[in-house]
Amino acid sequence: MAQVLRPLHGHAAATHPDLIVGTATSDDAGVYSLASGMALVQTVDFFTPVVDEAYDWGRIAASNALSDIYAMGGQPLTALQLLGWPRDVIAWEVAGEVISGGADVMATAGCTIVGGHSVDDAEPKYGFAVTGLVDPDHLTTNAAGRPGDGLVLTKPLGTGIVTTAIKRGGCPDDLRDRVVAQMVALNDRAAQAVRTVGARAVTDVTGFGLLGHLHEMLRASGTSAEIDVAAVPIIEGAAELAAAGFFPGGSERNRKAVEPFFDGDAGDDDIRLLVDAQTSGGLLVATEHPGRLVEELHAVGIDGWTIGRLTDVSGTRILLRSR
């Protein structure tokens, strides 16, 4: 993807005195300064179905798109829907169920759907372009981590493995329900806890997996990291599904992309989970006060786990310690 985006580097269309965060650091959203002193936060995300139920797919897509705004410290304001639909294959009524799910989550987030665009597509796709507002003094990016910061994660890993099992008919119903609930859950309260503690650097863990998004943070911040593999939370049942062969192709590509940058004594089973492509994952936070952040997360009703720390080792390396 970095090669694909290379034509934008230094291009007049991708530079401006008021552009605070652009494409250079592979952050979760773009940020553009306004004359009022506030800044716009803008992101777009859409994908093919990750579950069989249309309404749940819509809810997950909305939560996933909103997550980038929360990761930047912003509040969502408006959203535009993006819909690709095989109109001659799947009834429009099903698309209505998808849209209903997305709308319900946007309403929960206080985000107004102002329009959108649809195209005839061989494979269904759905998502949103979301615009939010942020006070630049409270902006969180993936480029502000410092050596010594603790790393806190706010949702367990494994959604890519579980949704692969769902699509192949190999996921138990109770696990499916737990994972859908996790993917639908907004990251708004986690972002609130981050603001309270005053954390430095934040990203959300989505398609590139934990190690992929961590590596983006390290590259942007100029640091390395140590991960306590045993401390990384995993969805109960996901490891067993991975061992049974439910491992998405995107996760395998993630592993190949980050393999040159990590070492340590982690086994293959652990690495599969650390690179698993997540949908609507949690926030990964670098903070001077990881213990305080975990306490604040618990105070607003969500979990948090300290999984490692940033280091000053050169070369944006990730050391995986399993013992």
Cβ atoms within 10 Å, residue 272: 22
Which of 299, 264, 305 lies closest to 283 in space, CA to CA?
305
Q: Report d(CA 14, CA 316) in Å as an integer.
A: 26
β-strand 262-264 against 305-311: which pairing, if any?
unpaired
Each residue's pLDDT tens digit, 131-169: 999 999 999 999 999 999 999 999 999 999 999 999 999
Q: What is the dihedral of CA 137, 141, 143, 147, to 10 degrees?
A: 80
CATH 3.40.50.2000 fits 6-138, yes or no: no
Mean pLDDT, residues 279-289 taken together: 97
Q: What is the pLDDT of residue 2?
A: 60
16 CB-contact burial (10 Å; exposed 0-12 / middle 13-18 / buried 19+): exposed
Radius of gyration of the chain (CA): 19
Angle 168-170-173 (CA atoms, 0-180°, nearest 5)?
Answer: 120
If you count them, how many residues does the chain have?
323
Phi/psi at 128 (5° precision): -145, 150
Q: Taking the complete model, does pTM exceed 0.75, yes or no?
A: yes
* Chain mean position to CA 165: 20
Would 6-138 and 150-321 be classified into the same CATH topology?
no
Task: State the fold for domain 150-321.
Answer: Phosphoribosyl-aminoimidazole Synthetase; Chain A, domain 2 (3.90.650)
Given pLDDT bands bounded at 50, 70 and 90, which one contains residue 10?
A: confident
Domain residue ranges in the chain:
6-138, 150-321
Query: How many angstroms from the chain centroid is the CA of residue 46?
Result: 12
DSSP-assigned letters across all residues of 32-78: EE-TTS-EEEEEEEEES-SSS-HHHHHHHHHHHHHHHHHHTT-EEEE
| Mean pLDDT score across all residues of the chain | 94
The pLDDT tens digits for 311-321 are 999 889 999 99
User: Cα separations (Å) of 65 from 22, 124, 206, 295?
Assistant: 18, 17, 10, 27
